[in-house]
Amino acid sequence: MSHFDAASAAPLHPVARQALLASLDEGWADPGRLYREGRRARMLLDAAREAAADAVGCRPDELVFTSSGTRAVHSGIAGALAGRRRIGRHLIVSAVEHSSVLHSAEAFEAEGGTVTRAPVVRTGAVTVESYADALRPDTALACLQSANHEVGTEQPVAAVAELCREAGVPLLVDAAQSLGWGAVEGPWSLLAASAHKWGGPAGVGLLAVRKGVRFAVQGPVDERESGRAAGFENIPAIVAAAASLRAVRAEAAAEAVRLRELTARIRARVGTVVPDVEVVGDPLRRLPGIVTFSCLYVDGEALLHELDREGFSVSSGSSCTSSTLTPSHVLKAMGVLSEGNVRVSLPTGVAEEDVERFLAVLPGAVAGVREKLGAPVAAADAAVRGDVLVVDALGKRCPIPVIELAKVIGEVPVGGTVRVLSDDEAARLDIPAWCEMREQEYVGEEPADRGSAYVVRRLS
């Protein structure tokens, strides 16, 4: 089985395994105790903190270990907002942040705060200008990921951090996807990350808070981890996380070159071996191992199952996954196709032969799903009402509304319109994206008795 979903969880690094097993015998005691076993555990914890801080680019006393990357994000945002409550109750996030950031933003809004969600361009990147426009005198905190978890696009963190510094606003960076590849540049104020993204064990996150940042711990304060992370430290896992971070950093430069070549190969060839594919994300400013593409007329969940049967573990931000029936918020913010979305995130050490086999298997998997869904070959359920061709796709999930649109677009004259009736939320994103891919005009959305009507004008 080829694990091509390292952006969700990377396989445990060999160094992490060795460190974990070795520290199980040495790091079980309470590091807060003064007897021999406690002192030994404290030495392990302190050494891990120094190694992690060196990788992050902060002081050891600025970094604490948490129970997960999500916990680090939640604690970081809540503590920074509480510490700057007198400044104001305004938070800035990007529209493509990880759900942990967006959930924190929603909770803040529910408590009476205000949130500005900075838009992104079609590559998935924010602009520095969008953050400049969002800054206000009452802005307490800004958040920006270092790189996107779904499409791999790197964000202009250094420039945004400098902008925030000049405005006196702390910037929290979610560096979960990028920390294994290098330190985050720029004068950021807070940083969160998660060990299982770089080959460490799950259940270890880290939160760095620079000296001088106003920070008020929320909830009961614990004597451990500077009061910022309650509970007994999992020292063996922390040691393994720090050891693996140091190890992957040592390999990062050479491995990044190799993975960039492999992902560039996928980006270049997927469009030649599979018709009607949109490769998304920035082609240059991107993480080394992630490549994401969307296939027209394909159900994302069905395609993932087909690839799984062929021995490949990939993920999807599509509207049709087992976890959600709505389009990925990242793809929606980018304005790209959501149906048939596949994210390939290659782990370090992946074999070139596995990538070649994936490219060989992919066309058949896509073709098989399209055949089952009835991709454009026959007439759709369409009727002419006045001078408009109407496609009734009510009660049908995407990609079916798009498939039926594609079947009938050739039946109207150039300049004519097709009105697609759909009650699937994904159609709001996928029909305009289909129009852009097929160079047809998306006129807009109109109200309907049920769902919405999406109007498309044929241009060619």
Nearest C-alpha neighbor of 241 from the set 65, 62, 29, 99 = 65
Q: Phi first, then psi: what are they for 219, rounded to 5°?
A: 85, -175
Taking CA atoms, 359 is separated from 73, 265, 267, 307, in Å, by: 36, 9, 10, 11
Contacts (Cβ under 8 Å, ≥6 apart) of 336: 122, 278, 280, 294, 433
Instruction: Please give the Cα distance from 397 to 399 (Å, whole number).
Output: 6
Using alpha carbons only, what angle is made at residue 453 by residues 450 and 456, rounded to the nearest 5 degrees? 165
* Residue whose structure tokens are 């990028």: 178
Q: Is the dihedral of CA 397, 400, 402, 408 positive or negative?
A: negative
- 143, 164, 295, 320: which one is catalytic? 320
Instruction: Please give the Cα distance from 451 to 405 (Å, whole number).
Output: 16
Q: Is the dihedral of CA 226, 230, 232, 238 positive or negative?
A: negative
Are 313 and 344 a contacting pair, CB within 8 Å? no
Is 435 annotated in the active site?
A: no
What is the DSSP secondary-structure string of 168-202? Answer: T--EEEE-TTTTTT-PPPS--SEEEEEGGGTTS-T
Q: Is the dihedral of CA 214, 218, 224, 225 positive or negative?
A: negative
Say what the alpha-carbon torsion angle 329, 330, 332, 338 is, to the nearest 10 degrees: -100
- The beta-strand segments (E) located in 219-311 are 277-280, 290-295
Residues annotated catalytic, as ranges: 320
